[in-house]
Chain A
C-alpha cells in the first residue's frame, strides 16, 4: 500500500550511490507515505466539518464519552507510531554515526574554506603530515599549508575533486580553516558540518560508479552557493591508477 507513495517521493531525490542509501530512502519513503496519509485524513475531517451544515444529533454526554475513548486510543496509536519512528531511525544512525569506521577504511581528509573544498590523501606512508596556517598559499599549490619538509607531509596528495573507489569504505576527516561549512553529498545521502577547531569523522561506502555533486549546506559567506565540487566514484582499478599517478606527480614536485 505505501509502496505507491514511496515511488511518488523517490523520483524527486537525486540518484542514490551509497551502500546505506537504499535503506535510508526506503525508511524516508515509508515515513512520508504514512504522514502524508495522516495529512489527507485530517484535512478530510476538517472539510467534513465545514460541509456538514447541521450538526450530528448526538447528546453531549454521548459525544463526551466517545470522544474520550477515541482520543485516548488515537493518542496511544500516535505514541506507537512515534516510537516506531524513533527505533527504526536509531538503527540507521547507529550504523552511520555511532559505529566507528572499519580499520581498513580509506582515509581522506576533507577541508572546507571560503569557498572551496579540498581533499587530502595521506600518500604511500598512509599518514597525514602536519599543517601550518603560515604556509597556506593556494597560488603556490599549497592551499592547506601542509608542511612539505616533514616526512609524513612530503607525500600527501591534495585534490580539488574527491575520487573514491567503489565498494570500499571511506573514513572522512572533516575540518574547516575559517568558518562553519556543511559537507553535503546528496547522492551519497550524507551531510556533516566542517567546524573550525574540530576534526569530525564521517564514514560511508560508495557503491555505484558516477559523478556526484558535493555542496556546502551551511551558509558561509558570499561564495556559499558556488562552494561546489564533485565526488567521482570509479572502479578500484581506476582509483589505483589515479592515485599512483598523483603520487608520482607529488614525488616529482617535492624533489
Chain B
C-alpha cells in the first residue's frame, strides 16, 4: 500500500506537480488538445448552423442568434489564446528550448510552472462562461465596448462577459510570466560557446515572440482591468457620455469622463496585432531548420532570416491601426498604418523567398514533418498574399469584416499555424517518446488535411468579395445577391467536416505510436541542433563550436555535423 502510494506520488510529482520543462511541455500539449477539441466542435456547430439553420442540435434544440454569436466568440477566443498561443509559445519551448541552447533547465523553473497553472485556471474560467446564466458572451473575440461594457446590451454580456474578462486577464498575467522565464533562459542559460549567431532560428523566434509578449499582453491586461472597472466600478473609460442602450441611459448625462470606445480598439489591437506574430513566429523559426534537415542543405541566409524575425517583431508593434481603417480613426492615421503594413510584407517576403530558394532544387526526403512544413508554407503564402490587399485602406473599406478577412486569417494564422504545430509534433515525437510516428498515416493525414483546409478557407475569399459580412448566423433579409454564394457555403461546411474528421487519424497515430510505434534511434532524423544531443553532452558542458545547421556532404561518412561535436571543422 505504502509502496503503491509512493509510486503514485512519484508519478504525480514527476509529471504533474513538476517544474521540469519537458513534463510541463507535455501538460501544455494536453491543455492545447483540450482547447482545440472544444474549439473545433464549436466551429463545426457554427458551420452546420449556417447551412441548415432550422436543424435543432441533439440535446440542445434550435440554435438562437445569441447561441450562434456565443459559439463564434468562444471558438475565436479558445483557438487564438489557448491553441495558437499556448502550443507554439509555451508547449514547444518547454519541450525543447533549454536543450536547443545547451542546458536542461529553465532560468526560472517555479515561475514557469506557475504560469502553466494560471493558464489552466484561465481555461476553466473561460469555459465556465458556457454555464453561467444567459451563457457565453456574444461580442466576438475582440469584445468591442460599449457592447462588452454594458450587461444589458445583450444576452451573455452579463456573467458570461465577466468570465471572459477574468479568463483573459489571467491569461495575460500567465503569458507575461512565461515570457519572462523564456527571455531569462535564452539570455542567461546558453551553453559555453552558444553565441547569439549559433542559436537555432527557433530560439531566435522564441526570443522575439517573448519580447513581443511582454508589452502586448501587459497592455491587454490593463485594457481588461479598465473594462472590468467600467462594468463593475462605475468608471467610464470606454462608455461615451449620453450612451443609450436598450432603453436606458448608461453613459454619464453630459461631458463627465468623456470615455471613448475607440480607446479599447487601440489598446486591444496594440495587443492583437503582435499576437498574430507571437503565434506565427515560432513556426517561422521552425521552418528553416526542418527544411535544412530534410533537404540536407544548410540554411544559406541565416542572418537574413534572423534579421527578418527581428524586423517583423519590430514592425509588428507599428501596424495595429490596419485593423481600424473603418473604425472612425483619423483617416491620415489610416494612410500611415497602411504604408507601414505594406512595409512589414517585405521581411515576410524575404523569409518566404529564402525558404523557396532552399526547396525548389528538390531532392528532399518527404517525411511527414517536412510535408507539414510545406503545408505551412503553402498556407502562409495563400493567406499572406491577401495581406497587402487588406493593407490598402481604400480596398479594406470594402473588404473589412467580410469573409475575405476570415479567409485571410484562417489561412495565414490558423491553418499555417496548426500545420506548423503538426510538423513540430511529428518531428519531436521520437525525441520525447523514443518511438516514431507512423509515416503512412502521417502522409494520409497531411494530404487530406491540405485539400480539406483549402476547401474550407479558400472559397471564403470569394464569399467575402461578394460582400458577405462576418457574424451573420444566416444570410437573410433584403440581400438577394447572397443567394449565389450558398453553394459555396455548403462546400465550405462539407470541407470543414472532412478536415475535422481527418484529425482523428492524427490522434489515432499519436495514440498507437506511443505504444506500438517503431523504436527510434537516438537522433533519428540525423539532426544538428542540440535537443538531439546525447545526455553526456549536457553533463560535460563541452563548449559549442559550430553553427546550428551544418548539413551537406562534408566527408565520406556523414552529411552533417551536429552542434555538439567538438572535432574541428574539415574544410
Which residues on A are within 8 Å of B, measured CB to CB? Answer: 9, 12-15, 24, 27-28, 31-32, 35-36, 38-39, 42-43, 45-46, 48-56, 58, 60, 63-64, 67-68, 70-71, 74-75, 78-79, 81-83, 85-86, 88-90, 92-93, 96-98, 114, 133-134, 136, 177-180, 182, 184, 186, 189-193, 195-198, 200, 211, 213, 215-226, 228-230
Query: Which of A78, A136, A191, A198 is most buried by chain B, counting CB atoms within 10 A of its CB?
Result: A191
The 3 residue pairs across chains A and B that have the minimum distance between CB atoms: A197-B240, A52-B362, A55-B363
**Known contacts A74-B353, A192-B328: A24-B146 contact under CB 8 Å:** no
B466 A14 Cβ-Cβ under 8 A: yes
Interface bits B253-266 vs A (CB < 8 Å: 1, else 0): 00000111110000
**Known contacts A217-B469, A219-B69: A49-B261 contact under CB 8 Å:** no
User: How far, in whole Å, are A189 and B393 apart by their CA atoms in the complex?
Assistant: 12
B242 A85 Cβ-Cβ under 8 A: no
Known: A46-B356, A46-B359. 8 other contacts (CB 8 A): A14-B466, A42-B381, A43-B378, A71-B304, A89-B393, A89-B395, A184-B401, A192-B328
Within 8 A of A (CB), among B343-388: 343, 345-346, 349-350, 352-354, 356-357, 359-364, 366, 374, 377-378, 381-382, 385-386, 388
Residues from chain A with a CB closer than 8 A to the CB of B64 are 222
B242 A197 Cβ-Cβ under 8 A: yes
- The 8 Å CB contact of A217, one of B65, B261, B361, B400, is B400
Interface of A is mostly: helix
Q: Say yes or no for B147: interface residue by CB 8 A criterion.
A: yes
- The 8 Å CB contact of A85, one of B150, B392, B472, B474, is B392
B326 A12 Cβ-Cβ under 8 A: no
Residues from chain B with a CB closer than 8 A to the CB of A184 are 401, 467, 469
B346 A75 Cβ-Cβ under 8 A: yes
User: How far, in whole Å, are A114 and B140 apart by their CA atoms in the complex?
Assistant: 16
Quote the shortest CB–CB distance from A146 to chain B (angstroms).
Answer: 14
Chain B residue nearest to A10 (CB atoms) is B465
**Known contacts A50-B374, A71-B350, A97-B393: A177-B381 contact under CB 8 Å:** no
**Known contacts A31-B389, A179-B153: A226-B467 contact under CB 8 Å:** no
A219 B241 Cβ-Cβ under 8 A: no
B470 A219 Cβ-Cβ under 8 A: yes
Residues from chain A with a CB closer than 8 A to the CB of B366 are 50
B394 A197 Cβ-Cβ under 8 A: no
Residues from chain B with a CB closer than 8 A to the CB of A221 are 138, 147, 153-154
Chain A residue nearest to B480 (CB atoms) is A213
22 contacts between A and B (CB under 8 A): A12-B465, A24-B398, A28-B389, A31-B389, A36-B385, A45-B359, A55-B361, A56-B362, A67-B301, A74-B353, A81-B388, A93-B338, A178-B243, A192-B326, A197-B241, A217-B326, A219-B138, A220-B147, A223-B65, A224-B471, A224-B472, A229-B478
Q: Say yes or no for B473: interface residue by CB 8 A criterion.
A: yes
User: How far, in whole Å, are A12 and B404 apart by their CA atoms in the complex?
Assistant: 12
**Known contacts A93-B334, A195-B327: A180-B346 contact under CB 8 Å:** no
B: interface residue count bin: 35 or more
Quote the shortest CB–CB distance from B421 to chain A (angstroms).
Answer: 20
Chain B residue nearest to A38 (CB atoms) is B385
A178 B246 Cβ-Cβ under 8 A: yes
Q: Say yes or no for B540: interface residue by CB 8 A criterion.
A: no
User: How far, in whole Å, are A216 and B481 apart by their CA atoms in the complex?
Assistant: 16
Interface bits B141-163 vs A (CB < 8 Å: 1, else 0): 00011110010011100000000
Query: Which of A42, A60, A78, A81 is most buried by chain B, counting CB atoms within 10 A of its CB?
Result: A42
Quote the shortest CB–CB distance from A179 to chain B (angstroms).
Answer: 4
Chain B residue nearest to A54 (CB atoms) is B363
Interface bits B98-119 vs A (CB < 8 Å: 1, else 0): 0000000000000000000000
User: How far, in whole Å, are A113 and B470 apart by their CA atoms in the complex?
Assistant: 18
**Known contacts A180-B144, A180-B261: A197-B243 contact under CB 8 Å:** yes
**Known contacts A43-B381, A49-B364, A219-B139: A28-B395 contact under CB 8 Å:** yes
A39 B385 Cβ-Cβ under 8 A: yes
Quote the shortest CB–CB distance from A145 to chain B (angstroms).
Answer: 8
Q: Say yes or no for B397: interface residue by CB 8 A criterion.
A: yes
Interface bits B303-336 vs A (CB < 8 Å: 1, else 0): 0100000000000000000000011100110110
The A/B interface has a contact count, at CB < 8 Å, of: 286
A98 B331 Cβ-Cβ under 8 A: yes
B362 A54 Cβ-Cβ under 8 A: yes
Quote the shortest CB–CB distance from A43 to chain B (angstroms).
Answer: 6
Residues from chain B with a CB closer than 8 A to the CB of A49 are 356, 359-362, 364
Q: Say yes or no for B244: interface residue by CB 8 A criterion.
A: yes
Residues from chain B with a CB closer than 8 A to the CB of A52 are 360-363
Quote the shortest CB–CB distance from A80 to chain B (angstroms).
Answer: 11
B481 A67 Cβ-Cβ under 8 A: no
Q: Say yes or no for B552: interface residue by CB 8 A criterion.
A: yes
Residues from chain A with a CB closer than 8 A to the CB of B61 are none
Residues from chain B with a CB closer than 8 A to the CB of A48 are 360, 362
Residues from chain A with a CB closer than 8 A to the CB of B154 are 114, 221-222
Quote the shortest CB–CB distance from A90 to chain B (angstroms).
Answer: 6
Q: Say yes or no for B300: interface residue by CB 8 A criterion.
A: yes
Q: Say yes or no for B251: interface residue by CB 8 A criterion.
A: yes
Quote the shortest CB–CB distance from B347 to chain A (angstroms).
Answer: 9
Chain A residue nearest to B395 (CB atoms) is A28
User: How far, in whole Å, are A114 and B155 apart by their CA atoms in the complex?
Assistant: 13
User: How far, in whole Å, are A27 and B396 apart by their CA atoms in the complex?
Assistant: 12
Within 8 A of A (CB), among B471-511: 471-474, 476-479, 481
Chain A residue nearest to B471 (CB atoms) is A219
B335 A90 Cβ-Cβ under 8 A: yes
A75 B350 Cβ-Cβ under 8 A: yes
A186 B467 Cβ-Cβ under 8 A: yes
**Known contacts A82-B388, A197-B258: A93-B335 contact under CB 8 Å:** yes
